[in-house]
Amino acid sequence: MRLTPDTDSDLLLETIDRDGGLVIKGLLDRETVDRIDRELAPSVAARQPGFREGFDDSFYGANTVRVQGIPAKSRTMVDEYLLHPTLLDLADRVLLPYCGDYWMSQSETIFIGPGNKQQTLHRDDLNWNLAAKLGVPLQISVLVALGDYDAAVGATRVIPRSHRWPLDRPIDDSLAVQVELEPGDALVYLGSLVHGGGANVTPDRWRKALYLSYLVGWLTPEEAVAVGVGPELARTLPARARQLLGFAGMPERAAADDPAEAALALWQLDADDEHVVDGTFRNR
Ligand SMILES: O=C(O)CCC(=O)C(=O)O
């Protein structure tokens, strides 16, 4: 289903709950897309396709450029994408019932080059496979198109409503549909939805996406985000961005009626740590 950033948030919530994902048309305007693309261009140009040694290129893409550490490379990504009110509102409504707060798990370019094969269909939640068995939302992922995103360049394949399948149900590839996007459109999906990057069958065009995910705060993010940001940059960011990027503790959760639902504060720093003292890190 294709909606817009100003769609009533009840409808966004109903749609993602029913289908496992949705498209937000024009999440970012063209000027913002171009600015992010320009800010990331030097890092993309310096990176060879293929993931790190020891990783499986058939999954990550032998001719795919993945650059991480995005908040340190693109301030526009932080201000306009990570903090987008429509995304945060949806993440609040999907994730906050299950955690004290959530944070960014990862952000990376996924630029799929000519000849790159299609990715195996999978669920992102299986990064945390024991937690995935709980059957509660763990993660929301977003892919924003920064350029071409049609079927021929490898638009994402998804199986609508597969977020409700039992985890051991075999994945039938024939049920996948490709989600084409215009620059600035976003595919937003739950970590339980079956999906994967498409094949790029063009001789010379790249599929350009910027990925971002929000994860419940009691799970370890995929990327060591706070290390990549560092306190110097963190000091210059809005408080909510600092929190999402790992510069705040996760609040304690009280649950008077069911003690088993209560949780202690996590990811805290000692009260006299310089980053607590100067306010870069906030204990909660
Ligand atoms: O690039 C895409 O369309 C999806 C990528 C993905 O699901 C992944 O790399 O885990």
Please report the atom of ligand 1 found closest to the CA of residue 154: 3
pLDDT in tens, 227-239: 999 999 999 999 9
Q: Which pLDDT band holds residue 187 (cuts at 50, 70, 90)?
A: very high
Please report the atom of ligand 1 found closest to the CA of residue 122: 7
Ligand 1 pocket residue status of 209, Cβ below 6 Å: yes
Q: Name the closest-CA residue to atom 7, ligand 1.
A: 196
- Determine the distance separating the centroid of ligand 1 and the alpha carbon of 116, expressed in angstroms: 12
Q: Which pLDDT band holds residue 115 (cuts at 50, 70, 90)?
A: very high
Q: Name the closest-CA residue to atom 8, ligand 1.
A: 196
Ligand 1 pocket residue status of 22, Cβ below 6 Å: no
The string of DSSP codes covering the chain is: -EE-TTS-HHHHHHHHHHHSEEEETTSS-HHHHHHHHHHHHHHHHHSPSS--TTS-HHHH-TTEE----HHHH-HHIIIIIIT-HHHHHHHHHHHGGGSS-EEEEEEEEEEEPTTPPPPPPB-GGGGGHHHHTT-S--EEEEEEESS--SGGGTPPEE-TTGGGS-TTSPP-GGG-EE----TT-EEEEETTS-EEPPP---SS--EEEEEEEEEETTS--SS-HHHHHHHHHHTTS-HHHHHHTT-BPBPPB--TT-GGG-B--BS---TTSHHHHTTSSB--
The pLDDT of residue 126 is: 92
Query: 5 to each of 26, 31, 203, 229, how far by Cα in Å?
Result: 7, 16, 34, 28
pLDDT in tens, 153-182: 999 999 999 999 999 999 999 999 999 999
- Determine the distance separating the centroid of ligand 1 and the alpha carbon of 76, expressed in angstroms: 22
The pLDDT of residue 3 is: 86
Query: 98 to each of 125, 149, 172, 196, 202, how far by Cα in Å?
Result: 15, 33, 30, 26, 42
pLDDT in tens, 29-80: 999 999 999 999 999 999 988 877 777 787 888 899 999 999 999 999 999 9
- Is residue 256 over pLDDT 90? no
Measured in degrees and rounded to the nearest 5, phi and psi for residue 166 equal: -60, 145
Does the domain at residues 2-251 carry the CATH identifier 2.60.120.620?
yes
Q: Which amino acid is at 187?
A: L
Q: What whole-number distance in Å separates Cα of residue 266 and Cα of residue 119?
A: 35
Q: What whole-number distance in Å separates Cα of residue 200 and Cα of residue 209?
A: 13
| Mean pLDDT, the chain, integer | 95
Ligand 1 pocket residue status of 110, Cβ below 6 Å: yes
pLDDT in tens, 140-152: 999 999 999 999 9
Instruction: From 110, 141, 163, 192, give the residue whose CB has the most ligand 1 atoms within 8 Å, as the site to mutate.
Output: 110
- Determine the distance separating the centroid of ligand 1 and the alpha carbon of 100, expressed in angstroms: 27
Ligand 1 pocket residue status of 191, Cβ below 6 Å: no
Q: What whole-number distance in Å separates Cα of residue 241 and Cα of residue 237?
A: 6
Q: pTM here?
A: 0.96
> Of 222-226, 251-255, 277-281, which gets the smallest average pLDDT?
251-255
Q: What whole-number distance in Å separates Cα of residue 96 and Cα of residue 93?
A: 6
